[in-house]
Amino acid sequence: MPGDAVFMSDQQGTAEVLSVSAAWALLREEAVGRVCVVVDGQPEIFPVNFLVDHGSIVFRTAEGTKLNASIGRPVAFEVVSYDLSNGEAWSVVLKGMAREVVRMHELIDTLQLPLFPWHAAPKPQVVRIEPTVISGRRFHAVAHDGSAVPAPRRSAHE
């Protein structure tokens, strides 16, 4: 059925291919991702704090390489997470076009989102990645010997 998770066997065990809605749900729970752009023919990756907004990814930045290499160009965006409590890991990758938010009504709406730069320098430009492809996988992490990665032990002082 469309939208349902599909289980695939790989060398590590079983990986769940996430539905688009499951991938978006995971993205909504995270705050940091990576934007991949091409600069002078070479890939560059930048960590950004972001929000999901109307089926797109929004982040703030300043003038510079990240902004210049992303606007009007195809980009990739990735978020990876690992749950220490159960050894479950997941990755979601979006591919699409990035554009600077400049239309007044959209800029006002976007600036009202709870998205604040973590760095002290001003980040006045807002970038929106409008994905054409979204994919994700969830799986249990394994140790080098193929066994399940154990959950970390908590110290008696926690």
List of domains in the chain:
6-139 (2.30.110.10)
38: three-class secondary structure by DSSP:
strand
| pTM of this structure | 0.76
pLDDT value, residue 150:
54
Are 35 and 129 within 8 A, CB to CB? yes
pLDDT value, residue 6:
37
pLDDT value, residue 130:
95
User: In a 10 Å sphere around its CB, with 0-12 CB exposed, 13-18 middle and 19+ buried, how is residue 79 labelled?
Assistant: buried
Please, which residues bridge with residue 16 across strands?
7, 138
pLDDT value, residue 8:
38
pLDDT value, residue 87:
84
Mean pLDDT in runs of 10 for the chain (158 residues)?
Answer: 37 80 94 94 94 91 88 95 87 95 66 66 82 94 59 49
